Chains A and B, each alone.
Chain A
């Protein structure tokens, strides 16, 4: 797959990843707003006691910001805090599916840089951007294949060193040339 041609077909996240997150977020917001409605129902449902005059005075009182604002503001504040906490959890979990694989690949890169043997990168169920692991593993595999091919050339060239050193040295020089050509694609 060439990089440019492949871009159109490459799926970074699996189908439904975004939808699932948005559905969970919508449910959270919906539930939160339902709670606001319930709280406002409870707070506004106290019957206006007394006669017409008292009811009139109570209603007028209710229009005052010092009374109406806490009645409206408190449930909305609680809603905002609760929904924010749930949203943080949802976001952390959803982004973890992308950040986690990057984190694990970062550790593999650490191994690569320190010269330790590199393990193939494995992703867990539900991890997104799995293609990144595939192409990284493919890159490392290609390097290894080239290394092995070069090492085989060296071993083959060296094999006659005991029998006919002069001829073997010529074979080794020839093998070195082949190695140079083999890795010439790297630039």
Chain B
């Protein structure tokens, strides 16, 4: 029997359209821009080559236009392929760097939290989604800190020895209940 929780078995690919599609749109913008530049460059170069050929008038009868323009087409395609690879690599590196920075901050804050620091704000850099998750982490850290402060207050009151019996029992039960709510 598979004991994994249900949500771990689901295959949801489009988790966050704002995050995933925004990244995709950035890459598409580069590709569309590259495409426009490519079309313009091939058009301009092919037109130039064809004009040169007609102005010189040196061409055989069985000639195809491709024989005239293939060199500039190949050159333009290679230049565009190189340009696109460089541009997409730079974009990917920048995105990955931003994601790394955000997640590193989350990791750092969680390590600090395990050591007891529940009040330093996460303020995770990078993509907005990482920042939002950081805010949610701050929420649970803040909630835990409030609970810990209540436990501390109850414990201090109980330790003081100044409470009447009924008050002592009530505070003791409250302390027990609050401890039960700490990371259930």
Instruction: Please give the number of chain A residues whose Cβ is less than 8 angstroms from any Cβ of chain B in the complex.
Output: 100
For residue B19, which residues in chain A have a CB less than 8 angstroms away from its CB?
A: 95, 99
In chain B, residues 12-61, which have Cβ atoms closer than 8 Å to a Cβ of chain A? 12-16, 19-21, 23-24, 27-28, 31-32, 34-36, 38-39, 42-43, 46-47, 50-51, 53-54, 57, 59, 61
Main secondary structure of the interface of B (DSSP, over half): helix
Shortest beta-carbon distance from A33 to chain B in Å: 5
Structural contact, B64 and A172, CB atoms closer than 8 A: no
For residue B170, which residues in chain A have a CB less than 8 angstroms away from its CB?
A: none
A33 with B81: in contact, given A76-B38, A102-B130, A180-B156 (CB under 8 Å)? Answer: yes
A147 with B130: in contact, given A12-B103, A95-B19 (CB under 8 Å)? Answer: no
For residue B28, which residues in chain A have a CB less than 8 angstroms away from its CB?
A: 84, 87-88
For residue B13, which residues in chain A have a CB less than 8 angstroms away from its CB?
A: 92-93, 96
Complex CA gap A6/B106 in Å reads 13
Kindly identify which residue among A95, A109, A184 contacts B23, using a CB–CB cutoff of 8 Å. Answer: A95
For residue A47, which residues in chain B have a CB less than 8 angstroms away from its CB?
A: 62-64
In chain B, residues 90-104, which have Cβ atoms closer than 8 Å to a Cβ of chain A? 92-93, 96, 99-100, 103-104
Shortest beta-carbon distance from B5 to chain A in Å: 6
Structural contact, A91 and B23, CB atoms closer than 8 A: yes
Structural contact, A44 and B69, CB atoms closer than 8 A: yes
For residue B27, which residues in chain A have a CB less than 8 angstroms away from its CB?
A: 25, 87-88, 91
Shortest beta-carbon distance from A123 to chain B in Å: 9
For residue A106, which residues in chain B have a CB less than 8 angstroms away from its CB?
A: 133, 136
For residue B159, which residues in chain A have a CB less than 8 angstroms away from its CB?
A: 173-174, 176-177, 180
Shortest beta-carbon distance from A132 to chain B in Å: 6
Nearest-CB residue, chain A, relative to B115:
A185
Shortest beta-carbon distance from A144 to chain B in Å: 5
For residue B130, which residues in chain A have a CB less than 8 angstroms away from its CB?
A: 102
Q: Is residue B71 contacting chain A, with contact meaning CB distance below 8 A?
A: no
Shortest beta-carbon distance from A133 to chain B in Å: 10
Complex CA gap A142/B23 in Å reads 36
Q: Is residue B84 contacting chain A, with contact meaning CB distance below 8 A?
A: yes
In chain B, residues 72-118, which have Cβ atoms closer than 8 Å to a Cβ of chain A? 73-74, 77, 80-81, 84-85, 88-89, 92-93, 96, 99-100, 103-104, 106-118
Besides A68-B50, A146-B182, 5 other A-B contacts (C-beta < 8 A): A87-B24, A96-B13, A131-B107, A151-B176, A187-B117
Where the two chains meet, the residues of B that have a C-beta atom closer than 8 Å to any C-beta of A are 4-5, 7-8, 12-16, 19-21, 23-24, 27-28, 31-32, 34-36, 38-39, 42-43, 46-47, 50-51, 53-54, 57, 59, 61-66, 68-70, 73-74, 77, 80-81, 84-85, 88-89, 92-93, 96, 99-100, 103-104, 106-119, 129-130, 133, 136-137, 139-140, 143-145, 148, 151-152, 154-161, 165, 168, 172, 175-176, 179-184
